[in-house]
Amino acid sequence: MFRSLITILRSRDDDAKVELLDAAYWRKGCSSLGTLRYCVLLGVGEKKRELCLMDIKEASPRRA
């Protein structure tokens, strides 16, 4: 799922090489109620490698 998100941005090839370069995480809000957030720096492609920065947020539980 993430691979298709990464490659669809800027019309990259579906089979482009994706490399994790760096990542960090933190908890937003109160420690018991806060949700996780991740920041991921990716390198996409081989010959002309482009950088891709993604902010990923933890989903909240679904309410009925």
- The tens digit of pLDDT for each residue in 5-62 reads 777 777 777 788 889 999 999 876 665 567 788 999 999 888 888 898 988 888 777 7
**DSSP characters over 28-64:** ESSTTT-EEEEEEEEEE-STT-EEEEEEEEPPPPPP-
The values of phi and psi at residue 7, to 5°, are -80, -25
Q: Tokens 């799922």 appear where?
A: 1
More confident residue, 64 or 44: 44
Instruction: Count Cβ atoms below 10 Å from residue 43 Cβ, excluding itself.
Output: 16
Structure-block tokens of residue 53: 């920065």
Domains of the chain as residue ranges with CATH: 2-57 (3.30.160)
Which pTM value belongs to this model? 0.69
